[in-house]
Chain A
Amino acid sequence: MKIEKLVMMANAIAAFFEAEPDREIAIDGVSSHLRRFWDPRMRRQLVESVDAGQCEGLNALVRAALSERREQIWPSATASG
Chain B
Amino acid sequence: MYSIHENDPGTPIRISTKRVVVTVDGTTVNVPEGTSVMRAASLAGVNVPKLCATDQLEAFGSCRLCLVEIEGRRGYPASCTTLVEPGMKIRTQSPELAKLRRGVMELYISDHPLDCLTCAANGNCELQEMAGKVGLREVRYGYDGENHLNADKDTSNPYFSFDPSKCIVCSRCVRACEETQGTFALTVLGRGFDSKVAPGTTSFLESECVSCGACVQACPTATLMEKSLEDGGQPDHVVATTCAYCGVGCSFRAEMKGSEVVRMVPDKQGGANHGHSCVKGRFAWGYATHPDRITTPMIRASIDDPWREVSWDEAFAHTASELRRIQSKYGDGAIGAITSSRCTNEETYLVQKLVRAVFRNNNVDTCARVCHSPTGYGLKATLGESAGTQNFDSVDHADVMIVIGANPTDAHPVFASRMKKRLREGAQLIVVDPRRIDLVRQPHIQAAYHLQLRPGTNVAVINALAHVVVNEGLLNEPFVRARCEGEAFEKWRAFIAGEENSPETLEAVTGVPAAHVRAAARLYAKAGNGAIYYGLGVTEHSQGSTMVIGIANLAMACGHIGRPGVGVNPLRGQNNVQGSCDMGSFPHELPGYRHVSDPAVRALFEREWGVRVQPEPGLRIPNMFDAALDDSFKGLYVQGEDIAQSDPDTENVLAALRSMECVIVQDLFITETAKYAHVFLPGASFLEKDGTFTNAERRINRVRKVKPPLAGLADWEVTARLAAAMGVPMPYTHPSEIMDEIARLTPTFTGVSYEKLDRLGSIQWPCNDQAPEGTPVMHMQQFVRGKGKFAVTRYVPTTERANREFPLLLTTGRILTQYNVGAQTRRTANMIWHDEDVLEIHPHDAEQRGIREGERVEIRSRIGATVMRALLTERVQPGVVYTTFHHPESGANVVTTENSDWATNCPEYKVTAVQVRKSDSRSQWQREFDAVAVEQAGLLPRHGSDTAE
Q: Is the CB of B331 closer than 8 A to any CB of chain A?
A: yes
Known contacts A1-B626, A37-B588, A39-B587; is A19 also within 8 Å of B619 by CB?
no
Among A1, A21, A36, A42, which residue has its beta carbon within 8 angstroms of that of B597? A36
Is the beta-carbon distance between A9 and B333 smaller than 8 angstroms?
A: no
User: In whole angstroms, how far apart are the Cα atoms of A20 and B495 in the complex?
Assistant: 9
- The chain A residue sitting closest to B587, CB to CB, is A39
Q: Is the CB of B141 closer than 8 A to any CB of chain A?
A: no
Known contacts A1-B626, A36-B617; is A9 also within 8 Å of B905 by CB?
yes
Binds A, one of B33-41, B245-253, B792-800: B792-800
Determine how close the nearest CB of chain B comes to the CB of A77; give it in whole angstroms: 11
Chain A residues lying within 8 Å of B495, measured Cβ to Cβ, are 19
Is the beta-carbon distance between A41 and B632 smaller than 8 angstroms?
A: yes
Interface string of B330-342 (1 = CB under 8 A from A): 0111000000000
Chain A residues lying within 8 Å of B623, measured Cβ to Cβ, are 1, 39, 42
Known contacts A37-B588, A39-B619; is A5 also within 8 Å of B898 by CB?
yes
Interface string of B528-564 (1 = CB under 8 A from A): 0000000000000011011000000000000000000
Chain B residues lying within 8 Å of A13, measured Cβ to Cβ, are 902-903
User: In whole angstroms, how far apart are the Cα atoms of A42 and B903 in the complex?
Assistant: 15
Interface string of A42-78 (1 = CB under 8 A from B): 1000000000000000000000000000000000001
Is the beta-carbon distance between B902 and A39 smaller than 8 angstroms?
A: no
Among B588, B595, B617, B902, which residue has its beta carbon within 8 angstroms of that of A16? B902
- The chain A residue sitting closest to B545, CB to CB, is A16
Instruction: For the complex, count residues of B whose C-beta is within 8 A of A.
Output: 38
- The chain A residue sitting closest to B632, CB to CB, is A41
Determine how close the nearest CB of chain A comes to the CB of B602; give it in whole angstroms: 14
Is the beta-carbon distance between A37 and B491 smaller than 8 angstroms?
A: no
User: In whole angstroms, how far apart are the Cα atoms of A38 and B332 in the complex?
Assistant: 17
Chain B residues lying within 8 Å of A37, measured Cβ to Cβ, are 588, 617, 620, 903-904
Is the beta-carbon distance between B626 and A33 smaller than 8 angstroms?
A: no
Chain B residues lying within 8 Å of A42, measured Cβ to Cβ, are 623
Among A1, A5, A20, A80, which residue has its beta carbon within 8 angstroms of that of B792? A20
Determine how close the nearest CB of chain A comes to the CB of B306; give it in whole angstroms: 34
Is the beta-carbon distance between B333 and A41 smaller than 8 angstroms?
A: yes
- The chain A residue sitting closest to B360, CB to CB, is A80
- The chain A residue sitting closest to B902, CB to CB, is A12
User: In whole angstroms, how far apart are the Cα atoms of A43 and B595 in the complex?
Assistant: 17
Is the beta-carbon distance between A80 and B332 smaller than 8 angstroms?
A: yes
Interface string of A12-28 (1 = CB under 8 A from B): 11011011110000000
Chain B residues lying within 8 Å of A41, measured Cβ to Cβ, are 333, 627, 632
Chain A residues lying within 8 Å of B361, measured Cβ to Cβ, are 80
User: In whole angstroms, how far apart are the Cα atoms of A35 and B596 in the complex?
Assistant: 11
Among B588, B595, B792, B898, which residue has its beta carbon within 8 angstroms of that of A19? B792
Is the beta-carbon distance between B796 and A16 smaller than 8 angstroms?
A: yes
Known contacts A1-B626, A19-B793, A80-B616; is A36 also within 8 Å of B905 by CB?
no
Chain A residues lying within 8 Å of B627, measured Cβ to Cβ, are 1, 39, 41
User: In whole angstroms, how far apart are the Cα atoms of A35 and B595 in the complex?
Assistant: 11
Chain A interface mostly: helix
Known contacts A37-B588, A80-B333; is A2 also within 8 Å of B796 by CB?
no
- The chain A residue sitting closest to B333, CB to CB, is A81
Chain B residues lying within 8 Å of A21, measured Cβ to Cβ, are 491
- The chain A residue sitting closest to B618, CB to CB, is A39
Chain B residues lying within 8 Å of A40, measured Cβ to Cβ, are 616
User: In whole angstroms, how far apart are the Cα atoms of A37 and B903 in the complex?
Assistant: 8
User: In whole angstroms, how far apart are the Cα atoms of A36 and B623 in the complex?
Assistant: 15
User: In whole angstroms, how far apart are the Cα atoms of A15 and B797 in the complex?
Assistant: 10
Determine how close the nearest CB of chain B comes to the CB of A29; give it in whole angstroms: 10
Determine how close the nearest CB of chain B comes to the CB of A68; give it in whole angstroms: 20
Is the beta-carbon distance between B542 and A12 smaller than 8 angstroms?
A: yes
User: In whole angstroms, how far apart are the Cα atoms of A36 and B586 in the complex?
Assistant: 12
Determine how close the nearest CB of chain A comes to the CB of B630; give it in whole angstroms: 5
Q: Is the CB of B615 closer than 8 A to any CB of chain A?
A: yes
Interface string of B627-667 (1 = CB under 8 A from A): 10110100000000000000000000000000000000000
Among B331, B595, B616, B793, which residue has its beta carbon within 8 angstroms of that of A78? B616
User: In whole angstroms, how far apart are the Cα atoms of A35 and B598 in the complex?
Assistant: 13
Q: Is the CB of B614 closer than 8 A to any CB of chain A?
A: yes
Determine how close the nearest CB of chain B comes to the CB of A57; give it in whole angstroms: 12
Is the beta-carbon distance between B905 and A1 smaller than 8 angstroms?
A: no
User: In whole angstroms, how far apart are the Cα atoms of A7 and B851 in the complex?
Assistant: 40
Chain A residues lying within 8 Å of B595, measured Cβ to Cβ, are 36
User: In whole angstroms, how far apart are the Cα atoms of A33 and B381 in the complex?
Assistant: 12
Is the beta-carbon distance between B331 and A36 smaller than 8 angstroms?
A: no
Is the beta-carbon distance between B332 and A5 smaller than 8 angstroms?
A: no
Determine how close the nearest CB of chain B comes to the CB of A25; give it in whole angstroms: 9
User: In whole angstroms, how far apart are the Cα atoms of A2 and B215 in the complex?
Assistant: 56
Among A2, A19, A33, A80, which residue has its beta carbon within 8 angstroms of that of B794? A19
User: In whole angstroms, how far apart are the Cα atoms of A65 and B626 in the complex?
Assistant: 24
- The chain A residue sitting closest to B619, CB to CB, is A39
Is the beta-carbon distance between B546 and A16 smaller than 8 angstroms?
A: yes
User: In whole angstroms, how far apart are the Cα atoms of A81 and B614 in the complex?
Assistant: 11
Q: Which of A1, A5, A15, A21 has the most CB of B within 10 A?
A: A1
Determine how close the nearest CB of chain B comes to the CB of A47; give it in whole angstroms: 14
User: In whole angstroms, how far apart are the Cα atoms of A18 and B902 in the complex?
Assistant: 13
Determine how close the nearest CB of chain A comes to the CB of B228; give it in whole angstroms: 48
Chain B residues lying within 8 Å of A19, measured Cβ to Cβ, are 495, 792-794
- The chain A residue sitting closest to B334, CB to CB, is A81
Chain B residues lying within 8 Å of A1, measured Cβ to Cβ, are 623, 626-627, 629-630
Determine how close the nearest CB of chain A comes to the CB of B911; give it in whole angstroms: 14
Chain A residues lying within 8 Å of B902, measured Cβ to Cβ, are 9, 12-13, 15-16
Interface string of B98-129 (1 = CB under 8 A from A): 00000000000000000000000000000000
User: In whole angstroms, how far apart are the Cα atoms of A30 and B361 in the complex?
Assistant: 24
User: In whole angstroms, how far apart are the Cα atoms of A16 and B904 in the complex?
Assistant: 12
Which B560-579 residues sit within 8 Å CB-CB of chain A? none
Chain B residues lying within 8 Å of A36, measured Cβ to Cβ, are 588, 595, 597, 617
User: In whole angstroms, how far apart are the Cα atoms of A15 and B617 in the complex?
Assistant: 22
Chain B residues lying within 8 Å of A38, measured Cβ to Cβ, are 617
User: In whole angstroms, how far apart are the Cα atoms of A21 and B495 in the complex?
Assistant: 9
Chain A residues lying within 8 Å of B614, measured Cβ to Cβ, are 80
- The chain B residue sitting closest to A29, CB to CB, is B791
Is the beta-carbon distance between A39 and B794 smaller than 8 angstroms?
A: no
Is the beta-carbon distance between B332 and A39 smaller than 8 angstroms?
A: no
User: In whole angstroms, how far apart are the Cα atoms of A8 and B360 in the complex?
Assistant: 30
Determine how close the nearest CB of chain A comes to the CB of B644; give it in whole angstroms: 20
User: In whole angstroms, how far apart are the Cα atoms of A78 and B546 in the complex?
Assistant: 30
Chain B residues lying within 8 Å of A9, measured Cβ to Cβ, are 900, 902, 905
Known contacts A16-B903, A19-B495, A20-B792; is A78 also within 8 Å of B617 by CB?
no
Chain A residues lying within 8 Å of B900, measured Cβ to Cβ, are 9
Chain A residues lying within 8 Å of B629, measured Cβ to Cβ, are 1-2
- The chain A residue sitting closest to B546, CB to CB, is A16
User: In whole angstroms, how far apart are the Cα atoms of A81 and B546 in the complex?
Assistant: 30
Determine how close the nearest CB of chain B comes to the CB of A75; give it in whole angstroms: 9
**Can you sample 22 A-B contacts with CB below 8 Å?**
A5-B626, A9-B902, A12-B542, A13-B903, A16-B543, A16-B545, A16-B546, A16-B794, A16-B902, A19-B793, A21-B491, A33-B903, A35-B597, A36-B588, A36-B617, A37-B588, A39-B587, A39-B617, A39-B618, A41-B632, A80-B332, A81-B632
Give the A-binding residues of B (Cβ under 8 A).
331-333, 361, 363, 491, 495, 542-543, 545-546, 587-588, 595, 597, 614-620, 623, 626-627, 629-630, 632, 792-794, 796, 898, 900, 902-905
Contacts beyond the supplied A1-B626, A5-B898, A9-B905: 10 A-B pairs with Cβ under 8 Å: A1-B623, A2-B630, A15-B794, A19-B794, A20-B792, A39-B623, A41-B627, A78-B615, A78-B616, A80-B614
